[in-house]
Amino acid sequence: MTSLAPAQMTAAPTKRLWLITFVDLVMLLLAFFVLMFSMSTPDKGRFAAIASGYASAFHALGGVEETTVGPQRLPALERVPGDDLAYLETVLKSAFSRSPSLDGVGFRLTAQYLILELPTAVGGSQPGDAIQVLDATTQRQVFEIGGVLSNLPNRIAVLVQAPAKGDTATWSAARARAAAVRDALVASGYPKSFAVLARGADAAGEAAVVPPTRILVMPDTPTAAGEAP
């Protein structure tokens, strides 16, 4: 029986040590390509075309219903900045605070409108005299408001309401004041068309309570729901 020398016993395992280095190199290459793929942006169009090709091929073989590849998503709706009336109220309050003549303008936010309320000066011997014409303060307010609203995409409307004493004289005076507000907005350079509304008194009474002149700022996109001012 022949015995192997120590040098001959270790020769065979020593010849396969290069496999360790080779495996390490393969693992490093694999990690490199995985990192490259993770940092890349796949071309979804090409993948969708490949998937559609497979789906068509299976459908041609029969027995497989053809379906649309990929998730179905509704088209994104672009939000118009003029639709957020709460944000618009904050912006207008900030703009009005820099003008002393606009300090008296009130704000009222509803589901459909942002209402700017201009106090109506009371004067004259007849109930309708208080609202028939614009006083100097209101003229200045309407002029400055028209300049600010000219920079917005929102639609507006003017609403003038007759005093609580609902008779023909006050109704006619409300219509005249609505026309005066309209003319003041046009004179301020407001470029878009707008509605001018005159409304009768909510309830008849002896006291001629003059409601404020209101400018309704509406969302840029029309809405179906809302409440009346």
**What is the spatial distance between Cα 151 and Cα 97, in angstroms, rounded to a whole number?**
17
- One-letter amino acid of 92: L
Domain 81-218 CATH (choose: 3.30.1330.60, 3.20.20.140, 3.40.720.10, 2.60.120.260):
3.30.1330.60
pLDDT for the residue numbered 228:
46
Q: Is 80 helix (H, G, I), strand (E, B) or coil?
A: coil
Q: pTM for the complete prediction? A: 0.55
**What is the spatial distance between Cα 177 and Cα 199, in angstroms, rounded to a whole number?**
11
Mean pLDDT, the chain cut into blocks of 10 residues (229 residues total): 53 73 93 87 75 72 52 53 79 85 86 85 46 71 86 87 68 81 86 83 60 84 51
Read off the tokens for 224.
């179906």
- Pairing mode, strands 114-118 and 106-109: antiparallel
Query: What are the DSSP calls for 51-75, one per residue?
Result: HHHHHHHHHHHSS------S---PP
pLDDT for the residue numbered 14:
65
pLDDT for the residue numbered 27:
95
Read off the tokens for 139.
């003229």
pLDDT for the residue numbered 4:
52
| Strand spans (E) along the chain | 106-109, 114-118, 155-161, 195-199, 213-218
Q: Which residues pair with 160 in a beta bridge?
A: 198
Residue ranges of the chain assigned to CATH 3.30.1330.60: 81-218
CA distances from 43 to 5, 48, 49, 72 (A): 62, 9, 10, 18
**What is the spatial distance between Cα 53 and Cα 60, in angstroms, rounded to a whole number?**
11
